Copies of this chain bind each other. A is one copy, B any other.
Amino acid sequence: MYYIGIDLGGTNIKAGVVDETGRILTEAYTKTLARRPYEDIVRDMGACVNMAISSAKVPVEGVASIGIGIPGLADAQSGRVVFCTNLGWHDIPLREEMQKYLDRPVVIDNDATVAGYAESIAGVSQGCDCSVFLTLGTGTGGGIVIGGRPWTGMHGIGSEIGHMTLAADGVPCTCGNEGCVERYTSATAIIRMARELCLTYPDSMMMQRAGGDIDRINAKTVIDAAKAGDPAATEAFDRYCRYLAMTINNIIALLDPDMIVLGGGVSHAGEFLLRKVREKLPRFLLYKNMPYARLELARLGNDAGIIGAAMIGKLAVEL
């Protein structure tokens, strides 16, 4: 059998036909053009699905399920999107609408959850019974796998690692709290830390590379300058990695998974990031002499959304 995976983002819709091992056979893309009526967006999702099926040359009867990863919160029972800020969606009957285009079981889950599950099926955490995936992007997202299955908790509101408090009464967060993990471990966080340091060190390589415009410093500017040895960028990157290590220790202290996987924009810093975070982590561990979770980089990149979405659909029809 084959499984459709849809990665619904704020910018792009991606759909793919995936086999039972998590391999993508074909993909189709289009622009999301968020803020359109949801019926229009789902119609384009349906068109992508049918395009992917037809180029895969698999019979439509061979498709068992549709999985959809969304940058928001879904209700597993009803198949409705509770909300999806990027798309301006509130209480949208996504399953019902999608089935107008292909009448198969539809499963919807959060994009970070889906990506983490993909890594545990076909990526770096393959075979891990329990893993935690962190997307270090504009925000910080979490994808938890327990017992080989995606875990979003008993009310579907878990794995929101980005909104755990890391610094009580710390930096105000967009969510209304203060000191959330996201404020210290996202790409947005590393940019904030770097810009703060540039106020003190206006001659930093980061400022030069941003053409003297502090607002043009992005995560890549900081990482590249840190790799080149710029002191202010190194300091910003160090601070960032320290908070990330604290967050990883919090995950270990609570859940103690087999593996913690770093994905999202900041993870493109690769071994440079991994080395520094691995170096900083032991300082925070409660049990210094016990084995603990391996820390690794995500492997599936942009494919994780399609693969994971397809695999949550597969899981649902197998249960």
Contact for A168 among B158, B160, B166, B291, CB less than 8 A:
B166
Closest-by-CB residue of B relative to A165 is B246
Please state if A256 and B152 are interface contacts (CB–CB under 8 Å). Answer: yes
Cβ of A165 and Cβ of B250 under 8 Å apart?
A: yes
User: Majority SS of interface residues in chain A?
Assistant: loop
Shortest distance in angstroms between A134's beta carbon and chain B's nearest beta carbon? 12
| A 224-271 contacts with B by CB, 8 A | 243, 246, 249-258
B257 touches A154 (CB 8 A): yes
Give the number of times this chain occurs in the complex, counting copies. Answer: 2
Q: Judging by beta carbons under 8 Å apart, are B286 and A160 in contact? A: yes
Q: Tell me if A34 is interfacial: C-beta within 8 Å of chain B.
A: no
Question: Considering only CB atoms, which chain B residue lies closest to A243 in the complex?
Answer: B168
CA gap between A44 and B291 in the complex, in Å: 33
Contact with B along A155-189 (1 / 0, CB 8 A): 11111110111111110000101010000100000
Tell me if A146 counts as interface (CB < 8 A to partner B).
yes
CB closest chain-B residue, reference A146: B146
A158 touches which of B158, B160, B170, B253 (Cβ 8 Å): B253
CB pair A254 B155 closer than 8 Å = no
Is B253 in contact with A255, judged by CB distance below 8 angstroms?
Answer: no
Q: Report the separation of the CA atoms of residues A253 and B287 in the bound assembly, to the nearest whole angstrom.
A: 24
**Does A203 reach chain B (CB closer than 8 Å)?**
no
Report yes or no: B287 in contact with A256, Cβ–Cβ below 8 A.
no
Quick check: A155 and B291 within 8 Å, CB to CB?
A: yes
**Given A161-B253, A286-B175, A153-B168 contact (CB < 8 Å):** no
Whether A197 sits at the interface, judged by CB under 8 Å, is no
Known: A147-B147, A154-B293, A170-B168. A159 touches B254 (CB 8 A): yes
- Known contacts A147-B147, A168-B184, A184-B168; A290 and B157 CB within 8 A of each other: yes
Determine if A46 is an interface residue (Cβ-Cβ < 8 Å). no
Chain B residues positioned under 8 Å from A292 (CB to CB): 155, 157
Say how far A290's CB is from chain B's closest CB, in angstroms. Answer: 5
Residue of B nearest to A160 (CB): B253
* Central interface residue in A129, A142, A179, A250, by most chain B CB within 10 Å: A250
- Besides A167-B179, A177-B284, A177-B286, 10 other A-B contacts (C-beta < 8 A): A82-B287, A82-B290, A130-B153, A147-B147, A157-B252, A160-B253, A166-B166, A167-B169, A168-B184, A255-B255
Query: Could you jot down 14 A-B contacts, CB within 8 Å?
Result: A130-B154, A153-B252, A154-B293, A156-B256, A157-B286, A157-B292, A158-B255, A160-B253, A160-B286, A163-B253, A165-B246, A165-B250, A165-B284, A167-B167
The 6 closest A-B pairs by CB, nearest first: A153-B256, A158-B256, A167-B168, A160-B253, A164-B250, A163-B286
